[in-house]
Chain A
Amino acid sequence: MILIIRAFVQILIFFDGISFDEYNIYKNQYTNKIWNFKKEAIKYCELDCISLHQILSKFNTLIFNQFKLNINNYPTLPSLSFNLFRTHYIKENNVHMLHGEIANNIRKGYTGGAVDMYTPTPIGKIYGYDVNGLYAYVMANFKYPIGNPTYFEGDITKI
């Protein structure tokens, strides 16, 4: 019983992304041929570089043609997209940066909600929802406070 489990685990480990079919196609290239580690490693590594170059060139051209920005100037995807927004979409004097005392005071107003874990006991189907894009969704569809912040004392609801 233990042996069977071990064998099963080993297959899972060695599997590592490629399927048996892929392997067989690969293996068939070497029938009656010697497989040389150095030669194959260089071939594989260079192919890695070539495919990465292809991807980056395509991405570079895509971004440049669409937005006239060079990907080389931005180290990360968020910095690229932020600069893309700043060059093409942001309105003048619209979104303000808050820092220092003002930002600290506003941040004090935020707190996290309750986070709980439940053991579900399903009655019928369970639906799983991926909420990765929640931020983007809210930013796109709901109002967002912009402009200069206003400090107030007194009853703001009376405005």
Chain B
Amino acid sequence: MKNKKLFWSNKEYKLDSSNLIANLFIDSYINTFWNDIINKLEEKQHILLLIRVKYTDGNYSTIGDLQKINKNSKNDLVKYLKNIINISFDSYKDIPISSIIFSYGIREGLIKQDSNIDPIGKTTSKYHTYYNNKLPIASSPEGYGKILTKLGNIYFISCSHSNATIILEQNKDKSINTIKYIKDEKVLFTWTDEIVSGNRFIRKIGKSILYYENGELYLYTIVKKTKAINKKKLPKNVKQNRKIVTMDLETILVNNIHTPYLLSWFDGKISKSYFIKNLLERDLENNIFNLIKNAIKDLNIKKYNNYNIYLHNFSRFDAYFLIKHLCKLGFVEPIIHKGRIIQIEFGNNDNMNTLYFKDSYFLLPNSLRKLCKSFDIKDSLQKGIFPYKLYDINYKGICPDFNFF
């Protein structure tokens, strides 16, 4: 029997996937632990239990204090742990947990009551438990403890139950008590108790605000620290970036498949076009590749380094034709968000130039024709019309019929 008293074990549960500390998983691990260990206890045994979690960054933290519990107080324990997690794990909530460790020792006999399992915020009768200290609940100086001496509106009070000394400063109309809680020659906490009415007061300590009525806590609030969206500063001497090339790809249906046959680009001054050699089926892929290769050859020069190449509706259409062939021409780094290609970064090993293919439709989500009108583009530069349904790239003759447009 004496050996058993020294007996401490660890039971570690590895999490299948790293998880944030959340209410949900605590339940199931407590259940598992109960099944694995506690249910196997003899009738008149209790357990000492300390629960720790291991984070993916290698740190540990302990959830709550050491618990002395009986077999049947699982539900209370879960409740207690959830409260603890809710209140005291702010700074760790963003770091995933890799495992949960139950350190336990089995002891003989039963515990009379699980006094350790005491939800935070609710105080044991007349005390407010704060970081393991029992702070007195009172609205008049006498209530805090034995008044040792008084200097004007400053009281020196001894709290016998916690071996602490309190220096209490009362304001003129006796509505606010400012308290310094001193223990082991150190000021541990400072707080204020604001008396709202005869039996109500509000305690402000740290980030928490507690509301008492007739010595009973009726509301507990704690401000959770979160990050504000910070203001962005404009860099000094910011210059307008005019490195824009626009590109368009025309396709034609060959055997009911969209096949690019023409690529054009415009840099603000010069425009260039690349027309497919032919649409014969045997070297169609090769012809498309050559078309794109020639275009990239002209664009991948020092002049256009770091240029943004905009295509309208790039992500839904042109990107699929381009990316296939761009891969063969150099290195391609696409940014894909929710299945949409947002950007393709293209570079070549021959030189260190980089091109960024982007979708102008994401910036201006409307048809080109409508945008021309909205931006008041000169008539002669507005989007033209073309017979989309004419599938003969070698056609020469009279103007195609209306039906082809």
- List, in ascending order, chain A residues with CB within 8 A of B275's CB: 38, 41-42
Q: Is the CB of A44 within 8 A of B386?
A: yes
| Residue of chain A at shortest CB distance from B372 | A51
Q: Is B390 an interface residue (CB 8 A)?
A: yes
- List, in ascending order, chain A residues with CB within 8 A of B217's CB: 154
**Segment with Cβ contacts to A, from B63-71, B123-131, B281-289, B377-385:** B377-385
Q: Provided the pairs A86-B229, A90-B229, A159-B211 are in contact, do residues A45 and B396 lie with their beta carbons within 8 angstroms?
A: no
**Segment with Cβ contacts to B, from A99-107, A115-123, A132-140:** A99-107
Q: How far is the CB of B313 from chain A (nearest CB, A)?
A: 11
**Complex Cα spacing A51 to B382, Å:** 6
Q: What's the A-B contact tally at a CB cutoff of 8 Å?
A: 254
Q: How far is the CB of A71 from chain B (nearest CB, A)?
A: 6
Q: How large is the interface on B (under 10, 10 to 19, 20 to 34, 35 or more residues)?
A: 35 or more
Q: Is B342 an interface residue (CB 8 A)?
A: yes
Give residues of chain B (187-225) contacting chain A, Cβ–Cβ below 8 Å: 211, 217-225
Q: Is the CB of B405 within 8 A of A77?
A: no
**Complex Cα spacing A46 to B275, Å:** 12
| Residue of chain A at shortest CB distance from B343 | A75
- List, in ascending order, chain A residues with CB within 8 A of B28's CB: none
Q: Provided the pairs A37-B394, A59-B363, A104-B22 are in contact, do residues A52 and B368 lie with their beta carbons within 8 angstroms?
A: yes
Q: Is B238 an interface residue (CB 8 A)?
A: yes
- List, in ascending order, chain B residues with CB within 8 A of A29's CB: 399
Q: Provided the pairs A46-B266, A151-B87 are in contact, do residues A101 and B21 lie with their beta carbons within 8 angstroms?
A: yes
Which residues in B have some Cβ–Cβ distance to A below 8 Å? 20-22, 86-87, 89, 93-94, 121, 211, 217-234, 238, 240-248, 250, 261-268, 271, 273, 275, 308, 310, 312, 335, 342-343, 356, 358-360, 362-365, 368-369, 371-372, 375-378, 381-386, 388-390, 392-400, 402-405
**What 11 new A-B contacts, CB under 8 Å, besides A150-B222, A151-B87?**
A17-B369, A26-B399, A37-B395, A43-B384, A48-B368, A52-B310, A56-B360, A77-B363, A149-B226, A150-B221, A153-B219
